[in-house]
Structure 1
Amino acid sequence: MKLSISIVALAAATASAFMPSNSGLRASSLQMALKDGEVPIVIGLAADSGCGKSTFMRRVTSTFGGDQCGPLGGGFGNGGWETNTLVSDMATVICLDDYHLNDRTGRKVSGLTALNTAEQRFDLMFEHVKALKEGKTIMKPIYNHVNGTLDEPEKIEPTPVIIIEGLHPFVDERVRDLIDFSLYLDISPEVKLNWKIQRDMEERGHSLESIMASIEARKPDFDAFIEPQKKFADYIIEVLPTDLDPNDKKTLKVRAIQKKGVQDFNPTYLFDEGSTISWVPSADKLSSPAPGIKLAYTQEQYFGNDVSVLEMDGNFDNIQELVYVESNLGNANSKFYGEVTQAMLSLADSPGSNNGTGLMQTLAAFAIRELYNKKAATAKLAANKVAAAASA
């Protein structure tokens, strides 16, 4: 008999994901004002293009709940402008592509790619992140991905959680110092190739030669400017080919590399904190298609830092059965038993929801929520002490 749970309020959880841009919602309809004494936290997410940042952001923002909307401007088709910014009651997601120095035409003149740090406006990025963290409104530029132009700036108001995501969040030391928690999506070259073949060759009709040429053209700048940021991350989600079947090109092994000693963050563990575990769940408790499923938990060194690594290799047949794995996780930062599984089910149609990418992204989202709650409680306590001293 397989384990399953009744997921309460699944429809409500699903509705909390970002609505389409034509839903009619606007930032002005959201309760975005910071509370007295509230200091926003800043989350940084670094990854190459096409590595699942958008799906990850949906998992993070839906974890906080509250009213949410899609792109701030509404897009061309809804009387607005093209924009990359996502907003909700609790969170604002800023795409760092908006800090490109040149538009697409300008980069043809410079001969540099968007991955090159010389094509980024780091001074402005720092000024804006600093202002938002101080509770100030900014006018942020827009890089238009549709036609490659730099459009009119948009007004961004601070929310309790500010997420900056893109190619270069950890390059500038000044910006790094403003970030409260940093994440890196590390997709192996083999998986990147398989994903691009599936998308560009199978779905868009591109040739294998053109796909390989595109990857090779980007590789030098990726190696020089993007990948080195891994060493600054507190949480790395590493996506690798499966170890269960060398001929399987679609099944993934996913590792959550969690830095120890980060303020207000406790790594998730399997069974016994600080131990080394390899676990193949019983088929009576957790079904999975061939080549099966395996989980592991280890203690390692990563760029000279002590880390705990949680690993999952394989796919679930039934996402509801994830509750069995969840019952053996510690420091999952869930509010109630089954919340991790509920969150996975609420985005069941999103990429990775039946494998380790969705699981590790969900655990990272819960860690961000817990970090926010801890920092908010600390800030509130400090504000109360100041208020008590002033009235004494």
Structure 2
Amino acid sequence: MAAFAAHTSAASSHYLPPGTAILLRSRRRAFPTRVSCSAAAAGDKTVVIGVAADSGCGKSTFMRRLTSVLGGGAEPPRGGNPESNTLVGDTATVVCLDDYHSLDRAARKARGLTALDPRANDFDLMYEQVRAIKDGRAVDKPVYNHVTGLLDPPERVAPPRILLLEGLHPMYDERVRGLLDFSIYLDISDEVKFAWKIQRDLAERGHSLQSIKAIIEARKPDFDAYIDPQKQYADAVIEVLPTQLIPGDDDGKVPRVRLIMKEGVKHFAPVYLFDEGSTISWIPCGRKLSCSYPGIKFAYGFGAYFGHEVSVLEMDGRFDKLDELIYVETHLSNLSTKFYGEVAQQMLTHADLPGSNNGTGLFQTIVGLKIRELCEQIVAERDAMTADAVKV
């Protein structure tokens, strides 16, 4: 696997007292709208989670599942820019990193750049603002308008308990990557990505098959150069591949999904099937799990991923009845659930979301539960450190 040299530009050095609301440098001079969100308690640092993927690879769906697990769904901020990409929940705020585009759509076109190209993004500002939020300071975050392709006036974002950074580049810049408490990469194979884009763009956006192919081919060099290499830095990767249950099938309707979990990550214990550290192949179809053609197959094992030891949980196929999922749940360990059947409950709650009948929805839900526990442990650890410091 090719080595990846991360973009590292010089960081701006701005000293600002902790707990201060600030206006970091912005490209726009209009007064910012205010994003109302559940702020972190005074003195607490925000937990920062990064989610990277190409466009059309399920980031928005994952955000809905993740914010639900973290304590209430996230919605656009009330009273702000109707084209805002930010989502605000009870405990988490979702920031779309498209907001850090440094060029609008027309400027990118004039320069022959895609949004994936680092030259079309402001990593200095991204780093400054993520660092400020993590340290408990409000920022005036830029807004990229996906409808008009223009750079809109900024919106003020207060530090939440959990900040979710989703987009093309959360792990690209070394400085931003160093601020993440946990990172996930959604890795969709070319065959499945192509099938998904066709299904979405033909049905929802009225694109022709030829135009879809042209867009994919135009973006691929930049994706390969700047987006895909980020997965080597991820603590967990959700990989979606063509099924192996149907020979020659690559339409993406029956995916094979792998949850690749890095070993040794603080506050994160990989999920396992039956027996930790073993190699397992399991076909659960039978009396307790309904399976129509082509069936379901699970696997669990371990190996290496970009030089890191990993555990891998795999599901190939799709569920017929989500209410039977609890049978599978009882055979998985280290799920970080708070009660019996919580995975099944979450899946049923979001049964209308794409991927809810296969491994994409299952593993996104499981990762969400793991992130919830990780955030709770980080906060508890920080509280304990603060208490110890007070005693001294």
What TM-score do you get using the length of structure 2 for normalisation?
0.88
SS of residue in 2 equivalent to 1:366: helix
The sequence identity of aligned pairs, in percent, is: 59
Structure 2 residue corresponding to 1:317, chosen from 320, 330, 333: 320
The equivalent of 1:334 in structure 2 is: 337
Shift of 1:202: 4.8
CA distance in 2, matches of 1:74, 1:290: 49
Structure 2 residue corresponding to 1:70, chosen from 53, 72, 75: 75
Count of residues in correspondence between the two structures: 357
Write the mapping of 1:114-129 to structure 2, written as runs, cut at 5 A. 114-129=115-130
Shift of 1:73: 4.9
CA distance in 1, matches of 2:330, 2:337: 11
Kindly provide the amino acid, as one letter, of the partner of residue 171 in structure 2: F
CA distance in 2, matches of 1:258, 1:124: 31
Q: Is the 8 A contact 1:74 1:82 kept in 2?
A: no
Q: Does 2:130 correspond to 1:110?
A: no
Kindly provide the amino acid, as one letter, of the partner of residue 240 in structure 2: V
Distance verdict in 2 for CA 1:165–1:69, change over 3 Å: closer
SS of residue in 1 equivalent to 2:320: coil
Shift of 1:385: 1.4
Q: Does 2:101 correspond to 1:96?
A: no
SS of residue in 1 equivalent to 2:187: strand
Q: Does 2:351 correspond to 1:348?
A: yes
Q: Is the 8 A contact 1:137 1:158 kept in 2?
A: yes
**What is the RMSD computed on CA atoms of the aligned residues?**
1.5
Q: Does 2:178 correspond to 1:160?
A: no
CA distance in 2, matches of 1:306, 1:155: 40
CA distance in 1, matches of 2:215, 2:137: 40
What TM-score do you get using the length of structure 1 for normalisation?
0.88
Q: Deviations for 1:16-68, whole angstroms, at most 9, x for unmatched residues?
A: xxxxxxxxxx954x5x23224322111001000000100100111111114x5
Q: Does 2:295 correspond to 1:289?
A: no
CA distance in 1, matches of 2:129, 2:213: 37
The equivalent of 2:143 in structure 1 is: 142
Structure 1 residues without counterparts, runs of 5 or longer: 1-25
SS of residue in 1 equivalent to 2:75: strand
SS of residue in 2 equivalent to 1:351: coil
Q: Does 2:173 correspond to 1:172?
A: yes
Q: Deviations for 1:189-209, whole angstroms, at most 9, x for unmatched residues?
A: 000111122223355554332
Kindly provide the amino acid, as one letter, of the partner of residue 159 in structure 1: P
Structure 2 residues without counterparts, runs of 5 or longer: 1-33
CA distance in 1, matches of 2:198, 2:109: 26
Kindly provide the amino acid, as one letter, of the partner of residue 369 in structure 2: F
CA distance in 1, matches of 2:360, 2:82: 32
Q: Does 2:308 correspond to 1:305?
A: yes
Q: Is the 8 A contact 1:44 1:182 kept in 2?
A: yes
Q: Is the 8 A contact 1:46 1:185 kept in 2?
A: yes
Kindly provide the amino acid, as one letter, of the partner of residue 66 in structure 2: V
Q: Is the 8 A contact 2:285 2:296 kept in 1?
A: no
Write the mapping of 1:1-392 to structure 2, written as runs, cut at 5 A. 28=36, 32-66=38-72, 68-73=73-78, 80-202=81-203, 204-248=205-249, 249=251, 250-389=253-392
Higher helix share: 1
Shift of 1:103: 0.5
Kindly provide the amino acid, as one letter, of the partner of residue 333 in structure 1: S
The equivalent of 2:15 in structure 1 is: none
Shift of 1:387: 2.1
CA distance in 2, matches of 1:129, 1:234: 19
Q: Is the 8 A contact 1:27 1:69 kept in 2?
A: no
Q: Deviations for 1:175-222, whole angstroms, at most 9, x for unmatched residues?
A: 111101010000000001111222233555543322222211111111
Kindly provide the amino acid, as one letter, of the partner of residue 87 in structure 2: L
Distance verdict in 2 for CA 1:74–1:288, change over 3 Å: farther
CA distance in 1, matches of 2:364, 2:39: 28
CA distance in 2, matches of 1:204, 1:127: 36
Shift of 1:117: 0.7
